[in-house]
A and B are shown apart, each in its own frame.
Chain A
Amino acid sequence: MKVTVDEVKCCGAGQCVLIAPEVFDQRDDDGIVILLESEPGEDQYSLVREAAAVCPALAIEIAE
Chain B
Amino acid sequence: MGAAAGGLAVAEALRRKDYRGRLIVVGAERHPPYDRPPLSKQVLAGVWEGERTHLRSQDDLAKLGVEFLLGDPATGLDATAREVRTASGRVLRAQTVVLATGLAALRLPGQDDLTGVHVLRTLDDALALRRNLTAIDRLVVVGEGVLGAEIAATARGMGLDVTLAGLGHTVMADQLGDLVGRTLTLLHADRGVRLRLGIAAQALTGADGRVTGVRLASGEWLPAEAVVVAVGSRPDLGWLDGSGLALGDGVECDSHCRAAEGVYAVGDMASWHHEGLGRRLRLENRTNAVEQAQIVAANILGENRPYVPIPYFWTDQYDVKIQVHGVPTRDAQVDVIEGAPEESRFVARYSVGGQVTGVLGWNMAKAARLHRQNLIGTFTSA
A contacts, CB < 8 Å to B: 11-15, 17-18, 26-32, 49-50, 53-54, 56, 58
Which residues of B have CB within 8 Å of A18? Answer: 369, 372
The reply on B9 being an interface residue by CB < 8 A is yes
- Contact partner of A14 (CB less than 8 A), chosen from B9, B37, B366, is B366
Q: Given A17-B369, A27-B366, A56-B286, is A11 in contact with B321 using a C-beta cutoff of 8 Å?
A: yes
Which residues of B have CB within 8 Å of A15? Answer: 287, 312
Query: Do A54 and B365 have beta carbons less than 8 Å apart?
Result: no
- 5 of the cross-chain contacts (CB-CB < 8 Å) are A11-B314, A13-B323, A18-B369, A30-B321, A53-B290
Q: How many residues of B contact A (CB 8 A)?
A: 26
Query: Do B287 and A28 have beta carbons less than 8 Å apart?
Result: no
Which residues of A have CB within 8 Å of B291? Answer: 54
Shortest beta-carbon distance from A50 to chain B in Å: 7
Query: Do A53 and B294 have beta carbons less than 8 Å apart?
Result: yes
The reply on B35 being an interface residue by CB < 8 A is yes
- Contact partner of B290 (CB less than 8 A), chosen from A28, A32, A49, A56, is A56
- Contact partner of A12 (CB less than 8 A), chosen from B16, B37, B294, B314, is B314
Shortest beta-carbon distance from B203 to chain A in Å: 37
Query: Do A14 and B13 have beta carbons less than 8 Å apart?
Result: no
C-beta contact mask, B305-332 vs A, less than 8 Å → 1, else 0?
A: 0000000101010000101000000000
* A14 to B325 CA separation, bound complex (whole angstroms): 11
* A53 to B312 CA separation, bound complex (whole angstroms): 15
Q: Given A53-B290, A54-B287, A54-B294, is A30 in contact with B365 using a C-beta cutoff of 8 Å?
A: yes
Query: Do B366 and A28 have beta carbons less than 8 Å apart?
Result: yes
Which residues of A have CB within 8 Å of B321? Answer: 11-12, 30-31
Which residues of A have CB within 8 Å of B314? Answer: 11-13, 56
The reply on B252 being an interface residue by CB < 8 A is no
C-beta contact mask, B353-373 vs A, less than 8 Å → 1, else 0?
A: 000000001011111110010
Query: Do B9 and A53 have beta carbons less than 8 Å apart?
Result: yes
Interface pairs A-B: 4 shortest CB-CB: A31-B365, A12-B365, A14-B369, A26-B366
The reply on B55 being an interface residue by CB < 8 A is yes
- Contact partner of A31 (CB less than 8 A), chosen from B55, B286, B323, B372, is B323
* A18 to B365 CA separation, bound complex (whole angstroms): 13
The reply on B268 being an interface residue by CB < 8 A is no
Residue from A14, A27, A50 with most neighbouring chain B CB atoms (10 Å): A14
Query: Do A13 and B312 have beta carbons less than 8 Å apart?
Result: yes
Which residues of A have CB within 8 Å of B366? Answer: 12, 14, 26-29, 31
Query: Do A14 and B294 have beta carbons less than 8 Å apart?
Result: no
Q: Given A11-B316, A12-B321, A15-B312, is A53 in contact with B365 using a C-beta cutoff of 8 Å?
A: no
Q: Given A28-B366, A31-B365, A56-B37, is A13 in contact with B287 using a C-beta cutoff of 8 Å?
A: yes
C-beta contact mask, B1-41 vs A, less than 8 Å → 1, else 0?
A: 00000000100110010000000000000000001010000
Having A11-B321, A50-B294, A58-B35, one finds 20 other A-B pairs with CB under 8 Å, namely: A11-B314, A12-B314, A13-B287, A13-B312, A13-B365, A14-B372, A15-B287, A18-B369, A30-B321, A30-B363, A31-B365, A32-B365, A49-B16, A53-B9, A53-B12, A53-B290, A56-B37, A56-B287, A56-B290, A58-B55
* A32 to B368 CA separation, bound complex (whole angstroms): 13
Q: Given A13-B312, A15-B312, is A26 in contact with B369 using a C-beta cutoff of 8 Å?
A: yes
Shortest beta-carbon distance from B282 to chain A in Å: 18
* A21 to B197 CA separation, bound complex (whole angstroms): 43
Which residues of B have CB within 8 Å of A28? Answer: 366-367
* A63 to B16 CA separation, bound complex (whole angstroms): 15
